[in-house]
Homo-oligomer: A and B are copies of this chain.
């Protein structure tokens, strides 16, 4: 007594062999209805529950997905709230497929690489989700050697499976919205080019301009780190010299920094400058004026990352990237004069 019942106890009580009990318990074929019933009944009576470790060791699966973040969580993609949503979706998908999610937070890519090696060597995950790939990715070699499936969140430079926001389209949407408001000279405060999502966002900006027949003016494209202070000083320095009536920022905190700078330069938002940005955070929602942004749907980003990883684990060869569409949320910061609200998710084609 005390010790919890094992499959042997169940088998004994049901009067069958352990292997039969195993088959029955796992709902597998080749077990007669009555035998199955006896086994299930015995398990029920005994309060039997399989020991996960034993199961995992026996069949060689860990039922575990490792999430690796090679960067401080609140900088993940520029905003603090991003991570919570990402994780929720990821967890949901993992759980739906019977996988466990384990967390591995590193402060640098080197640390992440060490972490990955140790996971691979201990064979403690069936697959890995790695966020924020950069040009270096020091762990790629290890990943290749061990045959553990993985997906990136964010577009990697190397050829590898990944899931990402549709950054190009997201930005195209937002910029087109500004254009639709009648703006002809739209500045773009982008993030550092080392982030692939910033490159993609620039592309979306350019496409929107081109579609509207507006010229691309390099002098209107600025860059700052993804923090308020950096955005503030960049705009403070560069804004006075250029003529523009709207500004698109690559992240919400950058937008906020830009607004602070603009105010100090005597330009009000949205009256003098319309603002749109990416990242529908608490900040964007509650800032005064509330910010027009693209909601990146991080939940689904996480969800699909886990889902795709599970597919890879199951041997599917679906290697094309998955892009999660964003959704434009129109708020006061971009309003020329009157109303607005929430734009439809699917941008209509015209």
Contacts and interface: CB of A to CB of B under 8 A. Distances in A.
A124 interface: yes
Contacts of A79: 282
Nearest to A288: B288
A85 B80 CA distance: 9
B121 A49 contact: yes
Interface string A195-214: 00000000000000000000
A123 B57 CA distance: 14
Contact of A91 (B52, B64, B105, B283): B105
A133 to B, nearest CB: 20
A54 interface: yes
A335 to B, nearest CB: 17
A32 B340 CA distance: 78
Interface in A274-303: 281-283, 285-288
A189 interface: no
Interface stretch (A96-104, A178-186, A240-248): A96-104
16 contacts: A51-B122, A53-B62, A53-B123, A53-B124, A56-B57, A73-B85, A74-B81, A74-B85, A101-B102, A103-B103, A253-B286, A256-B286, A283-B283, A283-B286, A287-B287, A288-B288
Interface of A: 4, 49-54, 56-57, 62, 64, 72-74, 76, 79-81, 83-85, 87-88, 91-92, 100-105, 121-124, 228, 253, 256-257, 260, 281-283, 285-288
